Amino acid sequence: MSKMKRSKIVAVLVLCVFAASTMMLSGCGSNAEASQDWVLVNPEGATEVTSMQLTAHPTSLEGKTVGLVWNSKENGDNFLNTVAEELENEVKDVNVIKIWEEIPESQGYGPNVFTQDVITKIQAMKPDVVIAAQAD
């Protein structure tokens, strides 16, 4: 690109920026004196943290029920199927529940998946441990 052509492009860009800023300052034809409402937003992202009592981890999975939860992202089911196979091969009397097969509405991700109804259905299965896979 020639130096002359580049200078013309820069000049046009400067004029565009000047015109846009002039329009903003003048209120784009409206009353520039009009009041504006502003909303102050706190960018911290701070939330109130409450403590809770956690259930102790079992010392062994022998004789326990393990629930597997899949969020429906690609290959998460492959991972959890492998976990199920390994648990069944290596742990005596383990009961593995693939929750995504038993409760299809538990598949997915986001705030609307684990509704109270889904949580109640999982609790009814009485798993001792739940393993979840968030795969992509």
* C-beta atoms surrounding 98 within 10 Å: 17
- At residue 56, the pLDDT reads 86
Which residue has better confidence, 103 or 22?
Answer: 103
Query: Is 37 inside a domain boundary?
Result: no
Q: Is the pLDDT of residue 20 over 80?
A: no
Which residue has better confidence, 20 or 67?
Answer: 67
**Residue 128 pLDDT level (bands cut at 50, 70, 90):** very high
Residues 54, 56, 61, 64: is their CA dihedral positive or negative?
negative
Domain membership of residue 70 as a residue range: 65-133
Do 67 and 99 meet the contact criterion of CB atoms below 8 Å apart? yes
Query: Is 100 inside a domain boundary?
Result: yes
Query: Is 114 inside a domain boundary?
Result: yes
Gap between the terminal Cα atoms of the chain = 45
Query: Is 7 inside a domain boundary?
Result: no
- At residue 13, the pLDDT reads 59
Structure tokens belonging to residue 57: 């981890």
- At residue 8, the pLDDT reads 65
H-type helices in the chain, by residue range? Answer: 3-26, 76-90, 99-102, 116-124
* pTM of the model as a whole: 0.60
Q: Is the pLDDT of residue 22 over 60?
A: no
- At residue 90, the pLDDT reads 95
Query: Is 35 inside a domain boundary?
Result: no
Query: Is 73 inside a domain boundary?
Result: yes
Give pLDDT tens digits for 25-60.
555 555 557 788 888 887 777 778 888 888 888 999
- At residue 108, the pLDDT reads 83
Into how many domains does the chain fold? Answer: 1
Query: Is 12 inside a domain boundary?
Result: no
Query: Is 3 inside a domain boundary?
Result: no
Task: Please give the radius of gyration of the chain, using alpha carbons only, rounded to the nearest integer.
Answer: 29
